[in-house]
Each structure stands twice: as structure tokens, then as C-alpha cells.
Structure 1
Amino acid sequence: MQATERYGLARAMAWDRVHPRLRHLSAWIDHIGELPVMNGTLIRLEVDRVPGDSEPVPVWLWSSKTGLTGMDVDMRWQAFLRRFDLEHTFRMIKQTLGWTRPKLRTPEAADRWTWLIIAAHTQLRLLRAAAVDLRRPWEKPTEPGRLTPARVRRGFRNLRPHLACPARASKPSHPGPGRPLGSKNRRLATRHDVGKTVKRADTFGEHVRLKG
């Protein structure tokens, strides 16, 4: 039993060595023979309140690990409650920071771009206390120390002139001549075959019919 800021008092109960009922669907549709028994821990979570006007209902969770202690059980339901933060973080770095916007050609370039996005997100989190809340008319006021990275980014242009820059000043230059007008690109990009997309069977009977 723990007190949370958003959901009130949270109460968790756990049952050890409880296995789910597997069926020949999704990941187990290609399994031949009797399905295995996968023991785990069943967790029942109750809270006092939920955001909005909805009534709180018990939430059932299952972990594939057995022999969990009370601290292990608390860690799992706390991670479940924090899943929305992770989903919004991925949405923010995709839509606001442009994680998936560039058309990168190699895995190494994708890794470098991902690390740059992580560094930018970390910088926005560290500047929360110094940023001014430039909120939209429909957004609620927020304390300076609790601004989201997206709202910090709006005022980042006002903070950047006051931050130290580890790089030297850029040298003046002019754009190159580029490709001559009317010429074709002779260095074509490498194309990778994505393979065929096969529709997966929804039921075991349909899977057997397609196999046969």
C-alpha cells in the first residue's frame, strides 16, 4: 500500500505461480503440439481515484517472473502507471524534435541521429527552471520547474543567446555551385528490398487451412 500523487492510495495484491491460458493465436499460432505452462505472478492493483470523472476499477497485471518480493511487486505496478509518460516521450521526440523525420540511409547514421535527439531532450529537461512558460491560450499554467520539454522548447530561443557555446563561431561562406542544370544524378542511393508482406492468419483453423 502506497500513496501516490495522482491516483491517491494504491493497494496491490499478488499471487505467485499463476499461469495464463495460452491459445494457438498470434505468437503461438505456429506452435505444434500442446502449449507450455508459463508460470508467473498475478497482480491486482486498486487506486482511490483516476483522472477525470471515471470510477476507479481494479487493474490486473501479470509478470513472467515468479517469487517476487513486495518491493518487486511495487516496482511493476509503478512501471505500469508510468507507461503513459514513456508513450508521450516517444510522441514528443517524433513530432516535436523530429526523430523520424530525416530519411537516413544507414543504421550508423540513425544511431548518431538518435543520440543527438537524446542529448537535445536532456538539455530541454535541464533548462526547465530557467525557461519562461510560453503557453497556448488553452493550456493551464504550470510551475517553472515542472514544464514539459515541448513547452521549454518554445522559449529556448530566448535562452540560447545566454548559454555558453563550446564550438567556435561559424566562418562566412557561400553555397556551392551544385549540380549543373539539366544533369542527372549518377550516384544513385542504395535500395533495400523490404520483402513481401504476407497476411497472417487470425485463427488457428485458418492457419491450418493456409498451410495445407
Structure 2
Amino acid sequence: MTRGLFSYFMLMLFAFWLWGYLGLSHHFENTEDLKEEVQSQRMEIERQRLRASMAQYEQERFQQYVATLMSNKLKSKDYVERRVASVVTKEIDSSLKLVSGESLISKAKRDYQNQKWESAKYFLVQFCREFPLSELIPEAKFLLVETNYKLRDYFDAIQVAQELVQLFPDSEMTGYAMLRVGQIFIELEKFDDAEQVFQTVEASFNQGTLRQQAREFLRGLHP
């Protein structure tokens, strides 16, 4: 992504934040298709599922913690054996972190595929917080953008997309996240901003599929 387009996109996102939460709230208050009562019931069911998933995750973390403590108890007073025990413990700790990360992202993807948006968001946030250097971070943050979009948490979605632009400006996941930001602007009837996002994607990314989708969105804005 070129520096000029990158700066423009970041400035546009900042302007959107200045536009303010009150304007967004007013928009939703006048949107008939929110169907508040039905949505409330669905969210309550989702919260119950989330609590169950969180309890299971915390139990797994506790079991891993106990396993680590047990490995420390096995250290010998003999120097050589202590060295061996130290190496083994480090490997166990590393393995536990790897397993924990894989468990988090697997749970997040499973819940995302099952449209359990709140639960998926919880695990994705946990993964991004605990494994910020993982090679899966671009994918995790993109899924977090998508999950926030599904939950209609538009400000959160745009914030995560902004993080992707800052950290991984050339990633394909960033391009798809920007397309989603453009769709958010369309839903908020901010068509000029949406057009600028799609034009930025078309001009900034080499992936043919990304550029094609950006052009299709642009044609949709000017049928």
C-alpha cells in the first residue's frame, strides 16, 4: 500500500471516529429491521453459550497451569538433573502456550462457523491479546472484524481494521477488512467514504480478487 493512500485511509478512519457515536446511535434508532425483541432473545441465548465456552476454556487453562506446577516439582537437587529438568520445563511451557493458542483460534473458528458471534469474538480477542506475535494474527484480526460486523459493533470493527492497516498494510487480510469497512460505510449511508475505501483497495493491492471485488462495489455505488 503506497504511503499516500495509507495516510489518506487512516485520516478517513479518524474522521469517521470524530463523526461520533451519537450519530450512529441515531441511525440505529430509526432502523426498523433491528427487531429489538427478537434480537434480545437471540443475544441472551448467545450469552449463555458464551458463558459455557468461557467456563470450559478457563478449566483447560487451569489444567495446563497444574501440569506446569507438577513439572516444577520433579526438579532434582543434582545440578545436571536440574539442568535437564529446566530444559524440559521450558519445552513444556512452550508447548502449553502453543496448545493454548491453537485451542483459542480453533474455538474461535468453530464458533464463527456456527454463527456464535459473541463467543467467537471472546476467543479472538483472547488470542490477539495473548499471542500478538503469532503468524495467525492477520487472520484472527480479520475474523474479529467480521465478527464485530455480524454483531453490528461497527466501531469495534473499524478499530480492528485500522490495526490491520497499521500492522500489516500489505496483507490480503487487510484488504478484505477494508472492503468490510466500505460495506459498513454503505450501511451507514456514508457513500462518499465507502467509495474512497473501495478506490483505495483497488489501487493499493495486487491481489486480483481483491481488486475485482473493490470494482464491483464501486459499480454498485454508481449503477
TM-score band w.r.t. shorter chain:
under 0.3
Q: Radius of gyration: which is bigger?
A: 1
User: How does the TM-score come out when normalised to structure 1?
Assistant: 0.23
Higher relative contact order (CA 8 A, sep 6+): 2
User: How does the TM-score come out when normalised to structure 2?
Assistant: 0.22
* Higher share in strand: 1
